[in-house]
Amino acid sequence: MQKRILGKSGLEVSALGLGCMGLSYGYGPATEKQAAIGLIRTAFERGVTFFDTAEAYAQGANEELLGEALEPFRDQVVIATKFGFKNGDVQQGVDSNPDNIRAVTEAALKLLRTDRIDLLYQHRVDPNVPMEDVAGAVKDLIQQGKVKHFGMSEAGVQSIRRAHAVQPVAALQSEYSLWWREPEKEILPLLEELGIGFVPFSPLGKGFLTGAINNSTSFDKSDFRNSVPRFSEENRKANQGLVDIVGQIAANKHATKAQIALAWLLAQKPWIVPIPGTTKLHRLEENIGGASVELSTDDLSEIETALSKITVQGERYPAHLQARVDR
């Protein structure tokens, strides 16, 4: 797989990473441990060198899984994890106090079986802690050699500027896909200006853009999509037109819908690195194939024209989580 560099950081990663959250958290029951390890190692064998986890993904269990899976080739991969929730629990709210940042980092180093974290993200902006203090705490960890690069997630323009002035931000991780394009307004121009890489999560619209979900799909009771307005039965039906358009383009390119969605993201900027997640080996192979799909200027223009006629229905988060997205 081709490599990309995240902004001006010098951090080189595979063009597609692997988002590991769903193996432990968020999309129903956790994947059986050996199957999950097998999937992570298969991703590495297929050229993926960028792996994403967080303390908040099952309160360290996902980090522990990743640590075991990647230990045999630790020096050949880039591991990203995140701090920023009280006790690693999203339900308890944000916590980016410097003491917590240090404690979470020390715990992550042990769970990940490593002596350094390649990319440490603030998971969500904490309005109660000055951004300068957050960036300063990470800067100290970088100077100690425990962290290599600083990242932010779902941060707004002003927060990014304030953090970057203290410790250069290597990457921003936020949602971006064919059905969530808000970053194009202010975020992408800022990242280009400052030389910050962009790591889109949910690049396949939490599975919707694959075409595998329709208005009659039922999710496991522990699947967070049950609470997402965009995934209400009514909105899934209303948003089907977007999937149909992606499907038409995919057929013309002899690719799948997921591959077109990923290729579209890769075509936006050379410093964009999507991190699709999956629990299935055949989906992993399909996603990796998306890195080889070339979209021409005409293809991109056709997609743009088609998308301009569609208005996606439904918020991407329930109200209590939407309130945590920094503006």
Domain ranges of the chain: 3-205+268-292
pLDDT tier at 260 (50, 70, 90 boundaries)? very high
Question: Is the pLDDT confidence value at 215 over 90?
Answer: no
Instruction: Compute the distance between CA of residue 165 and CA of residue 10 in angstroms, rounded to an integer.
Output: 18
Arithmetic mean of pLDDT, 223-237: 89
Helical pair 233-252 and 297-307, crossing angle rounded to 10 deg: 160
Residue 87's contacts (CB-CB under 8 Å, 6 or more residues apart) are: 59
Indicate the range of 25-29, 237-241, 318-322 predicted with least confidence: 318-322
Report yes or no on whether pTM surpasses 0.85: yes
The pLDDT, as a whole number, for residue 306 is 87
Instruction: Compute the distance between CA of residue 83 and CA of residue 95 in angstroms, rounded to an integer.
Output: 8
Residue 191's contacts (CB-CB under 8 Å, 6 or more residues apart) are: 7, 160, 172, 197, 198, 271
CATH code 3.20.20.100 for 3-205+268-292: yes
Instruction: Compute the distance between CA of residue 171 and CA of residue 191 in angstroms, rounded to an integer.
Output: 9
The pLDDT, as a whole number, for residue 241 is 87
pLDDT over 90, % of the chain: 81
Instruction: Compute the distance between CA of residue 301 and CA of residue 294 in angstroms, rounded to an integer.
Output: 14
27 among known catalytic residues:
no
The pLDDT, as a whole number, for residue 28 is 86
Query: Kindly report the CA angle at 216 between 23 and 218, in degrees rounded to 5?
Result: 35
Indicate the range of 163-177, 238-252, 286-300 predicted with least confidence: 238-252
Which of 57, 121, 176, 317 is labelled catalytic? 57
